[in-house]
Structure 1
Amino acid sequence: MKPLDLQVNGYAGTDFNRDDLTAEALHHACHCLREDGCDAILATFITDDVATLERRMSTLVRLREKDPLAQEVIAGIHIEGPFINPEKGYVGAHPPQCVKPANLEDTKRLLDAAGGLTKIITLAPEHDENFHVTEFLSSNGVTVSAGHCNPSLEQLRAATEHGLSMFTHVGNGCPMLMHRHDNIIHRALALRDRLWLCFIPDGVHIDFFALINYLRSAGLEKTIFVTDAISAARLGPGNYTLAGWDIKIGEDLVARSPDGSHFVGSTVTIPRILSNGQQSLGLTKAELELLLDTNPRKAVGL
C-alpha cells in the first residue's frame, strides 16, 4: 500500500501555511511522512488573502524544487479556499474576512503561484456564479471539490454537470445544528455516484458509528480517507499553529480553535487511520488500500 493523502496542512512541527517555511522544515515533514508510511501528499493551503496564498505557495514550490525527497512526497497542492461560504459554521477555521466569491482572475493567480502543481481546489459551488471557475478548473485538469459550503441539492447537482467531482471532508465544515434531513451531508451522500466523498476517520471529526453509516450509504468505490493533518500531527499535546491560528492540542490530541468552538484540522496520521479502520470501522486491509491509495490516485489522476 502506498497511501496518497489529499489533504495535509503540515506535519511533525512543520506548517506549510507559514510565511517563514524553511528547507529544513519541509524536508523534516517529508521525512516523517515517509517514516509513517505515507507515500505522497497534496500540501494544503487554506484561505487567506490571495497575495499571502501566492507567497506561501511560491515558497513551497521553490523549496520543493531543491529537495529530491520533497519532490517525491509532495505530489501536488490542494488549495482549500478562499472561494468558500463565509457563514459561521460553514467557514470553519478559515478567516471569514478573506473569503470571497470564486472568480477567474484570482483563480489564475493561485494556479500560477502553485507552479503547475495544483491538483485540487476546494470551493463553495453556491459562490461560483454560473460555475465558471469550476468549469475552467476541470477543463484544465484540476479536480474541483465542494467544501465549506451549503449549496442546495439542485446547485450541487448542477455543479457536477460543470466539472465538480469531489466533496472535501464530508460531515465537517458545516454547523453543529442543521436541518435534520435537508442538509449538506445528505446532499453530498445523495450524489455519491457523481462525487468522490472524502472523510477524516479520526473518530473526532465524525464519530465512528456515524462514519460507518456514511460509508454504508456512500459505498467504498467512491470514498477517500484523508488526514487533514496540521503541524501537530505526530507530536502530541502542546501549542501549535495553522496559518496564524494559535492551536492548543490537549491530551485527547484534538486540534481546536482558541475558543474551543470548532476543530482546526486534525492530528491523525496514516498509522492511526489504519488502526482505526480495522478496529473501529471493521475495514479490511484491502478496503483500506482502496480508500487510502487506489481511490485518491484515481480522483486526481496520479
Structure 2
Amino acid sequence: MINGPQYFDLQVNGYDGVDFNSDDASGRDYHRACTRLANDGVEGILATVITDDIDAMVSRLRRIVRARDEDEIVRKVIQGIHIEGPFINERTGYVGAHPANSVRPADTEVMLQLLEAAEGLTRIVTLAPERDGGLKVTQRLSQEGVIVSAGHCEAPLDVLRAAVDSGLSMFTHVGNGCPKEIDRHDNVIQRVLSFADHLWCCFIADGVHIPFYALGNYLQVAGVDRSIVVTDAISAAGLGPGQYTIGGQQVDVDEYGVTSIAGDKSHLAGSVATMTTSADNLRNHLHLDEDSICMLTSLNPQKALSLT
C-alpha cells in the first residue's frame, strides 16, 4: 500500500473550473487546476484533448506543452497527454459528447501532426479500431511507444482481435461511449471484456457513468490487476452544479453530478468526479480493500504507462 493518496488519473479534460480544451485557458488557469489536483492527492494526470477541428486540437496541445514549460507544478502534475479522438465512431451514441462534425477516419498524417504538436508528451490515443483502415494508425502509434486505446467504438470481434494483434492495449471508459440501447449479448462491452486478458480496462467510478453493481461485475470479469479507474473529469470537477464548458460546448451539471451538453440529455459529457470521491466510492459502495483501491487508482495507471 502507498502512504496516503497518490492518485494517478489517465483521463482529465479539466478541473476546478479550468477547461483543458478551451482556447482561452491561460498559464495561470493551468497552475490553479494543477495546484488543486495536487492538493486533492493526485500525483499525476494525463491532460486530455478531445475531438475538434485539427487546428483547434493542435493549438490546445501546444497550449498544454507551453503551460508545462512555464510552470513547475503544471509540469509535475501533467505527466503526459491523452488524445481522445478525432478517429472515433461518428454514430449517435458512440460519438458521445464529441462533436460529430469533427470526427474523421484514422489518418496517419493527421496523427503525426497531433503528435508533433504534443512534442513527445502523448501517452495514450483513443480511437475506434473500425475507423482505422488497415489498422495503420494503431500500428504506427504502437511502434512509437504510444498506448492505443479503443473507445467510442463498435468494433466487431474480428476487428478488435486484429487491433489487439496490431498493438491495441487499452479500452477507454468501458461501459460508456456507446448507446444506451444495444444488443443484450453482442455488444462492444461484452467484446472488450472477452479480451480483458490482453487489455487494460478503464472505468469511471462515479456511480453516474456505471451503476456500482455493474461496475462490481465488470471488475470481477476484467480483474483488479488489469483494471484502471479514471475520472474523465471536466472543468466542473471539484465544484458544484452549474454551467461549464468542454471545448466550445456548454455542459450542464445537475445536483446529482449528471453532465450533459446544454439542450441534449441523451448522453453524458464527462464527469465531475475526483479521484478522492472515486476511491471513496470503491471503498463504500463496492467494499474493496485498500490494496485493491490503490491498484485501481494509482499503481495500475502508472504500470500501464511503464512508470513503475
Decide whether the 8 Å contact of 2:208 with 2:257 is kept in 1.
no
Q: Give 1:71 shift.
A: 0.6
Could you tell me how far apart the structure 1 residues matched to 2:301 and 2:97 are? 24
1:111 offset after TM fit, Å?
0.2
**Equivalent of residue 50 in structure 1, options 48, 54, 63:** 54
- Residue deviations 1:27-54 (CA, integer Å, cap 9, x gap): 0000000111111000000000111100
Question: Could you tell me which amino acid in structure 1 is paired with residue 175 of structure 2?
Answer: G
* Mapped contact 2:235–2:245 kept (Cα < 8 A): yes
Alignment match, 1:61: 65
1:252, distance to aligned residue in structure 2 (A): 0.9
> Equivalent residues in 2 for 1:72-151 (5 A)?
72-151=76-155
Q: Deviations over 1:36-84 (max 9, x none)?
A: 1111000000000111100111011112101001110000000000000
Q: State yes or no: 1:7 paired with 2:6.
A: no
SS of the residue corresponding to residue 197 of structure 1 reads strand
In 2, Cα distance between the equivalents of 1:36 and 1:254?
21
> Could you give the per-residue CA deviations for residues 211-267 of structure 1, whole angstroms, max 9, x where no partner exists?
111111111111000000000000101110001111111111221122211100000
- Structure 1 residue 281 and structure 2 residue 286: aligned? yes
How far did 1:298 drift? 1.4
Aligned-pair Cα RMSD in Å: 0.7
Please state if 1:293 is matched with 2:284. Answer: no
Q: 2:234 aligns with which of 226, 230, 233?
A: 230
Query: Partner residue of 1:208?
Result: 212
What is the letter of the counterpart of residue 246 of structure 1?
Q
Ranges in structure 2 where 5+ consecutive residues have no aligned partner: none
TM-score computed with the length of structure 2 as normaliser: 0.97
Compute the TM-score of the two structures, normalised by the length of structure 1: 0.99
Q: Report if the CA contact (8 A) 2:279-2:297 is conserved.
A: no
Return the match for 2:39 from 26, 35, 40: 35
Q: Structure 1: which amino acid aligns with 2:284?
A: Q
CA contact (8 A) 1:21 1:60 kept: no
Shift of 1:273: 0.9
Q: Do the aligned partners of 1:45 and 1:78 also contact (CA within 8 Å) in 2?
A: yes
Alpha-carbon distance between aligned partners in 2 of 1:279 and 1:160, rounded to the nearest angstrom? 35
Unaligned 5+ residue runs, structure 1? none
Who is 1:25 aligned against? 29
Q: How many Å separate the matches in 2 of 1:63 and 1:204?
A: 32
Give the match's secondary structure for 1:92. Answer: coil
Q: Does 1:265 align with 2:267?
A: no
3-state SS of 1:39 partner: strand
Conserved 8 A contact 1:124-1:146: yes
Match of residue 256 from structure 1: 260
CA distance in 2, matches of 1:289, 1:63: 29
Q: How many residues were matched structurally?
A: 302
